[in-house]
Structure 1
Amino acid sequence: MFKYTLLIGLGFCSLASFAQEEEKEQQKTEKQEDVKGNLGEIDVVRDYKPILADAVKIRQSPDLTNNRKYLSKLHYTVFDRKLDINTGTHRLEIKEIPTSRPEVLTNNYAKIGVGNFNTLLGEVYISNGEDQAMQVGGFAKFLSQKGSDLDGQNFNEQKIGLFGRSVLDQITLNGEIGFNRYGTRYYGLAPSQQGLTPDPVTPPQEQNSPLKQHYNDIYIKGELNSNATDDPELLSYSLKADGYLFGNAFSAKENSFALSGNLNKKINAFNVGLNASGDFTSLKSADQSTGNHIARLNPYIRFQGNNYKITLGAALVSEFGGDESRNNIFPAVDLDLALVPEYISLYAGVKGDAVKTSYRSLANENPYLSETPFIDTATNNLVIHNMLEKINAYGGIKGNAGAAVGYKVGLFYKKVSDLPLYAINPTNPSRYDLIYDRGEKNTIYGLEGDINVRVSEAFSLGGNLIFNEYDLDHEAEAWFIPKLRLAANTRINISKKVYIDGELFFNDAMKAKTYAQYEGLTDMDPSNAVTVSLPAFVDISAGLEYRATKQIGVYVRGNNLLNKSYQRFLYYPRLGFNVIGGINVSF
């Protein structure tokens, strides 16, 4: 029974399976007919076998697990030192270059010193701190020297001043007020006063005790500038005012007040601007007074791109207040073209101006002017003329030779009138008068150059050269103006505590206008003017400082190291080798 029952059961299963297979075949046939009805008939040529190239085959069995890991929040620790990764290659250790001067944590210092020729020096500088937005401070200086070769060969100088600077949101303010005093004597001696011939001019008492002279200068300056903004087309402006009261030990006085301003507006690729100024000066000497006022107006338009800048404008200059008035219009053209940006640029321009003849600037250059300057000996009237630059054409190249060298070399050509020059006073050889070459065709041309070399923070070198030639209408020479002047300076830091500096100044030979009686020339009229040559000279100075601590330093400086008693002005030899040393303290 069991066998038959088993056989009957298997038969039913087979029948059911066959029925299912038959049903599946029927469904498959219906689907194929459906596909044929929609896509048409398909002929199968061979079975499709997918083949992958070896390069794209994945030779690793996939991980089918889908377990999501928990990602914790990361925390980073910033180290305050450089990590040293031991991979065999280490980062180069860069040795810091010592600064040109040791770091001093204070902004105030005082200096005292003594030297030969009875030299005394005192200097102090005080400021509020390192806040660049607000600076307030003051300074004072005293220096005196007394020569031993000539009676009255002494000099003294005093300076005192206060300054301030404030950077606000939209403007920056600068200001300074101070007092300068320079004293000397008329110690110049002509050859006739040195025993060659009797001196018929200078009184005996003045020969024994040269007359004292000093200059007092009280000045004030103020400046307002708009700050730079992110908007380049915003109107920029500046305003500057300065004035001074200047006078000598006698009756000569000069008072001046000047006001100048600038407006500039950028519109697309060019700038439109205006410079305007007024300089109002009054001069008094020998109970006479006169005015010397100059007004300027300079409109311009500037085209500026990445590698060029062209400025086109004109200068309207008016002189008034004195014996004569003049109005002139000069060109104001300037070009700056970068041939190789940051390395080589061409510059050129043409301009003109009235250069103010100022008693203050002349006395700073030559303190041996007569007690009553600007008196015309022919008319005995007080007369002053400004030098007129009718044309000033210039051009040259400038740029950088790498990051350490900057240079500028150019030529210039000027046509001037009323050129001021110095000449010995006809009645006193220790005094100088101011004379003018009023020719309309006076020509000045020459070459000038500048170079700055900064090898590192520890070494720098700079130099300046000016070569000029004068072709004058009336005067035989450009008196006391050398054809060649060369100046150079260097700063060298030996270590963090020791540094040295040096300066060199070369002045070419000059011509001086004097008179036969002063030169002891008895074979000609004593009142005849003669020309005397002043030899060229070199003045070298150097200094050394040792910084014992951050607050205390010891220094020594030598001037005129070649010990040459040269003359910048005729009959006035300068001091020979002189040295000064002392200490400076920061606090």
Structure 2
Amino acid sequence: MNIKKILYTTALFVSAGTLSVQAQDKKATEKTTEDKTIAEEIEVVRPYKPVLAEAVKLRRSPDLNDVQTYKARFNYGLTNRRLELNSDINKLQAQQVAQERPDTLLNNFLKGGLGTSATTLAEAYINIGRDEGLQAGGFFRHFGQEGKLNGQKFNQQQLSVFGKSIMDEFTLSGRINYQRNGLYFYGQDPNGSFINENPEKQAFNFIEAEGEIASSYTPDEAALSYAAKINGYVWSDRFNAKENSVVLNGYLNKRISSFNLGLASSLEMGNTKDLNVNVNNHLLKVNPYIRLQTNGIKINAGINLVQEFGSFSELRIFPAVTADLTLIPEYLQLFGELKGDVNRNSLKQLTDDNPFLMNNIEIQNTVEKISFTGGIKGTGGPGFGYQAKIYHKELEQLPLFVNDFNNPSQFDVIYDFGTTKLLGIEGEISVQISNALKWTGRMNLENYKPASERESWFKPQLRLNSNLLYHVNDKLSFNAAVVLQDDTKAKLYTAQPASPYILPNPDTETVVNVKGFVDFGLGADYKINKKFSAFVKANNILNNQNGRFLYYQAIGFNAFGGLTYSF
């Protein structure tokens, strides 16, 4: 029995061992086969088991009976404030904008230039700087040119000092000017009717002083407004002509409700001397008025009382009425004026208009008997402004220029005795498309009906002025200007006229046409840096030789340039 059990047990272990060997062989075979195709590497990492050092281990449990709490100390500041039940939306407070840093102003500059036609230019301007209560400075300018004709030379010097003080109740201002004009009587006839080989030299000296006091602005509408000004000058030429003048002006205005009561007055005292001339020409003007200003309507009604005394003596009373009606605020406004006045003629005024005058000029006053003006003005939007008016004047003793019989290169002054009628139209437009482009234009159309003369000598019917300014960028800018004048008429004597001259004699006179002209100029400015800039300018680009007066040609095309230094 034991032997059978041993045999059975031995057979069972042998069978199990055989199966185990076969299985291992098979797996080895399969593994061998797989190794031929796939290479794998298996890395087994065991989990991390931290080991604490003996010193870190806590051997005791926490004390759960520690229940002590920490009490912080607080300090309270209670404000007794009323509770407001307001459901309205509170106004938002705008945040203050940080004050801009003021720009550094360059108050002074020096300018100089040279060019063709012997052109010389020198300018200087000096100012004390930014001050709300005091302004003072000075200005100097020299400009000279020379043409191709014999004696065709011009030069001008100007020096001015000014000041202004703004106080709480009034403002004081004043200035002193000196001006000198040098030239030659270079007129000559291209057709050879007379010879002017040695043109005479002429020079005008003018010294002027002016002072003014005016009330400062006040919000009190019932306050009294006032102003007073005094102006005086001394004038002389290179020969024997001398002139002086003192003018006093005063103004008072008092507002009562919608009305203004005012008084404007002036006293003009002048004396003109030459070899054969000594004229005391004085005027006293008084202009009381009442002004209504309400609801876009402004009417100023008064009289202009003028007393001539000295060499002339006569009292005249003229109307002085102006009206403004606003139809569309800022866009359309109608205006009109009806007035009369006496205009004092002087050698200073006449030589400013025509510097080629002879000696012993007769001085008379021009009476503006009646003058009417009406028109419209306003804006057409941002950057666009306009004005157009029509006017009619009746003038007594209108001064006119005529060539002297003995010396045609010099001019005499005659007066159109009687009433000259003038009808004119004037229009002006200003367009600013942007900060880079601005254009202005002005046109005058005038029609004269002389009293005793055949024509209003050297009075053009059409005058046109236009200016264009274009900024390419902050450094470069261009400018252009056009001046146009229509043909005029001149009178030449064929025989010696009567002296003193009163009425024209057609048998001893002839009419000559003086051609008009167009003067077109271009200029450019370039800012090199904050202190230096360069400029260039060209005049009479069309090279037009026609001048304003007979026998006097204009300087042809000329150009000059230079530098400006600001400090």
**TM-score grouping bracket, smaller chain normalisation:** 0.7 to 0.9
Question: How far, CA to CA, are the matches of 1:234 and 1:491 in structure 2?
Answer: 43
Question: Does the CA contact (< 8 Å) of 2:493 and 2:508 recur in 1?
Answer: yes
Aligned ranges 1:45-124 → 2 under 5 Å:
105-124=105-124
Q: Which residue of 2 aligns with 1:242?
A: 231
Question: Does the CA contact (< 8 Å) of 1:426 and 1:527 recur in 2?
Answer: no
Paired-residue identity, %: 40
Aligned ranges 1:159-308 → 2 under 5 Å:
159-191=158-190, 194=192, 199=194, 207-286=196-275, 288-308=277-297
Q: Which residue of 2 aligns with 1:423?
A: 402
Q: Tell me whether 1:472 sits opposite 2:455 in the alignment.
A: no
Q: Which residue of 2 aligns with 1:367?
A: 355
Q: Tell me whether 1:503 sits opposite 2:481 in the alignment.
A: yes
| Aligned residue pair count | 467
Q: Which residue of 2 aligns with 1:405?
A: 384
In structure 2, give the amino acid aligned to 1:165.
K
User: Which ranges of structure 2 fall in alignment gaps of 5 or more residues?
Assistant: 1-75, 80-92, 497-504
What CA RMSD, in Å, does the superposition of the two structures yield over aligned residues?
Answer: 2.3
Question: How far, CA to CA, are the matches of 1:104 and 1:489 in structure 2?
Answer: 30
Question: How far, CA to CA, are the matches of 2:183 and 2:78 in structure 1?
Answer: 87
Question: How far 1:118 moved relative to its partner?
Answer: 0.8
Question: How far 1:527 moved relative to its partner?
Answer: 8.6
Structure number with bigger Rg? 2
What stretches of structure 1 move > 4 A for 4+ residues in a row?
69-72, 76-81
Structure 1 residues 367, 71: CA separation in 2 closer, same or farther (over 3 Å shift)?
Answer: farther
Q: Which residue of 1 aligns with 2:564?
A: 584
Question: How far 1:457 moved relative to its partner?
Answer: 2.4
What whole-Å deviation, never above 9, does each CA across 1:101-149 have from its counterpart, x for those lacking one? xx8731000000000111111110000002132111111111111112x
What whole-Å deviation, never above 9, does each CA across 1:457-482 have from its counterpart, x for those lacking one? 22221121111111112100010010
Q: Which has the higher contact order (CA 8 A, sep 6+)?
A: 1
Aligned ranges 1:321-400 → 2 under 5 Å:
321-322=310-311, 324-374=312-362, 384-400=363-379
Q: Which residue of 1 aligns with 2:421?
A: 443
Structure 1 residues 273, 526: CA separation in 2 closer, same or farther (over 3 Å shift)?
Answer: closer
Question: Does the CA contact (< 8 Å) of 1:104 and 1:551 recur in 2?
Answer: no
Q: Tell me whether 1:481 sits opposite 2:459 in the alignment.
A: yes
What whole-Å deviation, never above 9, does each CA across 1:50-85 have from its counterpart, x for those lacking one? xxxxxxxxxxxxxxxxxxx9999xxx998989xxxx
Question: How far, CA to CA, are the matches of 2:295 and 2:562 in structure 1?
Answer: 51
Question: Does the CA contact (< 8 Å) of 2:301 and 2:322 recur in 1?
Answer: yes
Q: Tell me whether 1:514 sits opposite 2:492 in the alignment.
A: yes
2:439 to 447, 455, 461: 461
Question: How far, CA to CA, are the matches of 2:95 and 2:203 in structure 1?
Answer: 66
What whole-Å deviation, never above 9, does each CA across 1:212-250 have from its counterpart, x for those lacking one? 001000001111111111101100011111111011100
What whole-Å deviation, never above 9, does each CA across 1:232-285 have from its counterpart, x for those lacking one? 110001111111101110001110000001100000011000000001000001
In structure 2, give the amino acid aligned to 1:351.
K
In structure 1, give the amino acid aligned to 2:229.
K
Give TM-score scaled by structure 2 length: 0.79
Question: How far, CA to CA, are the matches of 2:170 and 2:185 in structure 1?
Answer: 48
Question: Does the CA contact (< 8 Å) of 2:119 and 2:146 recur in 1?
Answer: yes
Question: How far 1:531 moved relative to its partner?
Answer: 0.7
What whole-Å deviation, never above 9, does each CA across 1:380-428 have from its counterpart, x for those lacking one? xxxx211101100111111111121111111111111101000011111
Q: Tell me whether 1:558 sits opposite 2:538 in the alignment.
A: yes
Question: Does the CA contact (< 8 Å) of 1:447 and 1:467 recur in 2?
Answer: yes
User: Which ranges of structure 1 fall in alignment gaps of 5 or more residues?
Assistant: 1-68, 82-102, 375-383, 519-524
Aligned ranges 1:26-41 → 2 under 5 Å:
none
Give TM-score scaled by structure 1 length: 0.77
Question: How far, CA to CA, are the matches of 1:271 and 1:330 in structure 2?
Answer: 20
